[in-house]
Amino acid sequence: MRREPTILHLDMDAFYASAEQAAKPSLRGKAVVVGGLGPRGVVATASYEARRFGVHSAMPMGQARRLAPHAAYLVPRFGLYRDISEQVMGLLRELSPLVEPLSLDEAFVDLEAAGAAWDAASARTTGERLRTDIKTLTGLTGSVGLAASKMLAKIASEEAKPDGLVLIRPGTERALLAPMPVRTLPGVGPATGDHLRRAGITTVGEIAEAGEDELIRLLGKAHGSALHAMARAQDDRPVVAERDTKSVSVEDTYDVDIHDRVRVRTEVQRLADRCVQRLRAAGRSGRTVVLKVRRYDFSTLTRSETLRGPTDDPSVVREAAARLLEAVDTTGGVRLLGVGVSSLADFTQEDLFAQAAGEHPAEPEPEAEEEHEEAPAPAERRWPAGHDVHHTAYGPGWIQGSGLGRVTVRFETPGSLPGRVRTFRTDDADLTLSDPLPLVPEAMRRPPPQPVAEDAAEQEDEKDPGAIPGPAAGPRDGA
């Protein structure tokens, strides 16, 4: 444990849903649910307006629709979310070289590493400035927790939601944790929580009072000892800047089982291309190609092939995935497909196509035959709800919904007023899918002037004298 609250935890507020609201003026202040929209879909994120109806992440989408039938239901736009995440992570790395991302919208930062903060006052000033910079750069809000350990910083950011800052003063941690429910602690899920409740333990304070021996008896040595230490606010884990990515993968779950073998092969090829795009975006390559198939009966098969060297060549990954698919029986139907690459490296070995194909010597291509198989009909265009489109006459907009050969589009942009709705045929040549527009125009992303470091503590004293630790200080500060 540190002596000062210089570990920061940032958690963006309802990230996917907030990004959609910022991009779509007509949805601001309204219930928005982002996730898979099919009968097997689940909620990825719900806006705070939707959460009032009981909708939450990981909930089946059908249940969410029953709870909030009038909400806007949108398909995730991960490209947009990744772009915003890179901007936010860039701000964090300006504060410290020790940034530990947990997901697209969440990270720990060690503020001591580069002198961004050294006590409670400077930590609070840095946290408030970060929240302002995030708002200026992305138009979105994030909640900040500041504490002397990673566990407490994460708890503080949860207490700060939405759009706030909470600082936990050293020496007050156990008093803060004591009345909180046991599920507050990391590693306490529904099963562990029920087990503790049956033993009469419902709060963090009761975990600390139960003693380590009793927790070991209830939960086992490793889990019991760790939980007892956390209940006593003991957490010495450092902020780790780099986490070695072990694999890159993509997968899709289908609303209706796929029975057509040609369609299955096409989907595998498409997933292979998406996987390579992610691989290249991470600056990595890999030696092992993995195929995942979940069949109609929920049985899941995984097949892999290891190449002789790392690659980021899409043709190599496609060919390997296709060979793996040949060894899988998909007769009864497929509900999920995935393609991944593991055994990652930071370099590529060129010209692996022949190796991946079995190192057969190259043969001249046969001359074209006069008779060719009839080309398959082009696939019907998909119009995912919430995704961006552009019309040659009406300009940019987003898809409200589609069906029965029609697609409904609302024409508005992040900086416009709520726009008008128009309906088109799904094969309208003037309407095309497009890339997302930035939430904040480039010209408006200039951060405000920063205060000089030596004045930070003095400015904090003037704004909130209670920020400096002292005998009369409460257990935490909220903003």
Residue 463 is predicted with a pLDDT of 38
Q: Above 50 in pLDDT, residue 475?
A: no
Segment 352-364 mean pLDDT:
42
Residue 451 is predicted with a pLDDT of 52
Which domains can be identified in the chain, with CATH numbers?
176-231 (1.10.150.20), 247-356 (3.30.1490.100)
Residue 356 is predicted with a pLDDT of 42
Interval 290-340: pLDDT, tens: 999 988 887 888 999 998 888 889 999 999 999 999 988 888 889 889 999
Token digits for 358?
């079995």
Kindly indicate the confidence band of residue 379, based on its pLDDT and cuts at 50, 70 and 90.
low
For 360-398, give one letter per residue: b (16+ CB within 10 A) or e: eeeeeeeeeeeeeeeeeeeeeeebbbbbbbbbeebebbb
Kindly indicate the confidence band of residue 446, based on its pLDDT and cuts at 50, 70 and 90.
low
Kindly indicate the confidence band of residue 136, based on its pLDDT and cuts at 50, 70 and 90.
very high
Segment 395-413 mean pLDDT:
93
Beta strand 334-345 with 247-258: parallel, antiparallel or unpaired? antiparallel
Residue 363 known to be catalytic: no
Q: Is 105 annotated as a binding residue?
A: yes
Residue 465 is predicted with a pLDDT of 34
Token digits for 43?
């909620």
Instruction: Given the residues 100, 106, 159, 412, select the one marked as catalytic.
Output: 106
How far, in whole angstroms, is CA 79 from its chain's centroid?
11
Kindly indicate the confidence band of residue 234, based on its pLDDT and cuts at 50, 70 and 90.
confident
Residue 280 is predicted with a pLDDT of 87
CA gap 290, 345 in Å, rounded: 16
CA gap 330, 339 in Å, rounded: 16
Q: Determine contact, residues 322/265, Cβ cutoff 8 Å.
A: yes
Residue 189 is predicted with a pLDDT of 81
Which of 283-287, 338-342, 381-385, 462-466 is the most confident on average?
Answer: 338-342
Q: Higher pLDDT residue, 451 or 297?
A: 297
Percent of the chain with pLDDT over 90: 52
> Taking the model in full, what pTM does it have?
0.72
Kindly indicate the confidence band of residue 445, based on its pLDDT and cuts at 50, 70 and 90.
low
Segment 137-161 mean pLDDT:
94
Q: Which of 426, 435, 432, 425 is nearest to 393 (CA)?
A: 432
